[in-house]
Structure 1
């Protein structure tokens, strides 16, 4: 049982069920990110926690108190929206304390909370300005400050950085991370940006079509994805998914793939539990950073497999060079050092870290090892 419990929750609009039996227990002080493509149900779930959407089935509880049907103002939650939702005719200070005033908090307490939070967010010099005089990043800090002054049980963030430019998004991610580290607040955060999910969260719930596909730490989600959807949604560039056949040689399971010339190559797995799949088709999953040049290979790995193949495309990207080759008729991307000597059109000796490889069932797309 968690601090925030989402128990078997469903949501339907008429006959159409859009959220299917969601079960998540959020511990006190945890930073849970709900991530997934547009329309997957993550914002609907957040709105149900907030009380902005009715719950069709199941229960949501905060500190063991079931809040189904409880008015949003009685849930002791605070929400930060994508649109900031600031009152343009009020000053920054008035915007931040308006909710406290509506709840009858005495002015000395409001002022004390305002000073503390404004200093924490480094907006204490902006308290007399109107929202129209602020930058996007400053408005976002005010929206966060309005939530913080209330000291709620749970903070809800609905894609709060999506309106900011790329550099400011990175800066604000850092600020939110610092804020959570300092205050140890319980946060549920919605985004479609998997970089935000990986960098901010203590746990991630990856959602698709109303289902939680996987719930785990960023490392668990990244290293051992539950299925092909999670594998390809989380990570940039996405995990390479390559058709292969499972063969056994020398008692070790290996993925048989074809190179650009149609020659069969064997990539030896580290996992011993694949023997039951001998002779069957599989999907080989491997991250781009696990395919590199021999000099850049992970020295700690006990299973680096050499793979000679023709390079299709090279893409310099500052600190990295992305190199594309063909495996079993599919493009596979390798992530190499900026100074790796790789030339498009030529054969190259790739080093594949098969300790990082996973295998999926082609029929169900679920991970088998």
Structure 2
């Protein structure tokens, strides 16, 4: 095992820049998730680590050794693909052992490694089957087993769960988490699913258009977003956003929001230097759905809880939660409530806004105001 460092990595296809100076460092045994929308460069970045793509400039290090110019077979990396890439004419056991056989590992060692990995992934009963006899989740376990027997310094996962149904995705996510806790091998995992990112990662790198938007722990990415893109991309439902001018009176700084029917609602603002510089200018006000809820569910540790009545526009039951949509400044905002809140469309209901969880952004630069 070893740490993984990516330094000012750039990748061009002709005149087109795909990766624009990526800097990331993940500790020995860490779990790095590369997340972002389609076309953001996350799979290209993974492929440069694997050696499947050459880099234009920069460096990639495992431990203190540069691997940027090495052939993929020399990098001591194992990769799990989205498509499983199993040999259809081989049994599960032979699929897992094939790489070891090609490297000249003895049959006794191969058999022991296959048995150990099969037990870890709970596929011991499948070793004599062919891929066509397996479900999607079982095939993905076999693909993972083939990587695990390598005992590499770094594991790479390229959207391994995207072909599975919703329940299997959750089950396999748990298996991958359990596997990493047991093996503690440095891992890089690509996904477009921000729930997978938040669930699995020790560190997350959010990419957009080939640029690193933010790098940090799941808590930092979710609760302390660096810009509007990160705030909106991470979280489901997405963060509520409103663009509103900053005002000032004798009581301090505030925002004025207009409810359905034209009633005004005053939101007090922190008297920070960044907010004072925006007096008379708009800011983007952001609040997560769970910070906008029914009074009984409000986090009373929050220093600034504002309670008021709002007209409920839409109610979306979701089992353990109820999402209630209200309209402020003509914009729909989503609140996460308990089912016991019993809100109804077209009726007024009490809401609690935890303003200590509010974040603010510059509308021009989209960067966080602090």
Contact persistence 2:100–2:150 (CA under 8 A)? yes
SS at match of 2:277: helix
Alignment correspondent of 2:67: 67
How far the C-alpha of 1:260 sits from its partner, in A, is: 1.7
1:187 pairs with 2:191: no
Alignment correspondent of 1:27: 27
SS at match of 2:369: coil
How far the C-alpha of 1:270 sits from its partner, in A, is: 5.1
What is the CA–CA distance in structure 2 between the aligned matches of 1:311 and 1:250, rounded to whole Å? 33
Provide the TM-score with structure 2 as the length reference. Answer: 0.96
How far the C-alpha of 1:338 sits from its partner, in A, is: 0.6
How far the C-alpha of 1:22 sits from its partner, in A, is: 0.3
| Structure 1 residues not aligned, in runs of 5+ | none
Alignment correspondent of 1:321: 322
Contact persistence 2:197–2:204 (CA under 8 A)? yes
CA 359–100 in structure 1, closer or farther in 2 if over 3 Å, else same = same
How far the C-alpha of 1:343 sits from its partner, in A, is: 2.1
CA deviations on 1:58-80 (whole Å, 9 max, x unpaired) are 11111211112211011000000
Alignment correspondent of 1:92: 92
What is the CA–CA distance in structure 1 between the aligned matches of 2:282 and 2:260, rounded to whole Å? 19
How far the C-alpha of 1:216 sits from its partner, in A, is: 0.8
Alignment correspondent of 1:284: 285
1:344 pairs with 2:352: no
What is the CA–CA distance in structure 1 between the aligned matches of 2:111 and 2:250, rounded to whole Å? 73
What is the CA–CA distance in structure 2 between the aligned matches of 1:114 and 1:196, rounded to whole Å? 28
Contact persistence 1:243–1:257 (CA under 8 A)? no
State which drifts further: 270-279 or 127-136. Answer: 270-279
What is the CA–CA distance in structure 2 between the aligned matches of 1:169 and 1:95, rounded to whole Å? 23
What is the CA–CA distance in structure 1 between the aligned matches of 2:202 and 2:250, rounded to whole Å? 41
1:207 pairs with 2:196: no
What is the CA–CA distance in structure 2 between the aligned matches of 1:365 and 1:307, rounded to whole Å? 29
State which drifts further: 329-338 or 294-303. Answer: 294-303
CA deviations on 1:245-274 (whole Å, 9 max, x unpaired) are 223455543322222223332112457452
SS at match of 1:61: strand
Alignment correspondent of 2:301: 300
Contact persistence 2:214–2:230 (CA under 8 A)? yes
The list of structure 1 runs, each at least 4 consecutive aligned residues, that deviate by more than 3 angstroms after superposition, is 248-253, 269-273
1:171 pairs with 2:165: no
Alignment correspondent of 2:156: 156
Contact persistence 2:161–2:169 (CA under 8 A)? yes
SS at match of 1:101: helix
How far the C-alpha of 1:278 sits from its partner, in A, is: 2.1
State which drifts further: 176-185 or 291-300. Answer: 291-300
What is the CA–CA distance in structure 2 between the aligned matches of 1:198 and 1:251, rounded to whole Å? 39
State which drifts further: 304-313 or 165-174. Answer: 304-313
CA deviations on 1:171-213 (whole Å, 9 max, x unpaired) are 0000000001111111000000011011011111111110111
| Structure 2 residues not aligned, in runs of 5+ | none
How far the C-alpha of 1:287 sits from its partner, in A, is: 0.4
What is the CA–CA distance in structure 1 between the aligned matches of 2:18 and 2:356, rounded to whole Å? 38
How far the C-alpha of 1:335 sits from its partner, in A, is: 0.8
CA 99–250 in structure 1, closer or farther in 2 if over 3 Å, else same = farther
What is the CA–CA distance in structure 1 between the aligned matches of 2:121 and 2:109, rounded to whole Å? 18
1:367 pairs with 2:368: yes
What is the CA–CA distance in structure 1 between the aligned matches of 2:235 and 2:363, rounded to whole Å? 21
SS at match of 2:84: coil
What are the residue-to-residue correspondences of 1:5-20 with 2, within 5 Å?
A: 5-20=5-20
Contact persistence 2:76–2:153 (CA under 8 A)? yes
What is the CA–CA distance in structure 1 between the aligned matches of 2:20 and 2:227, rounded to whole Å? 18
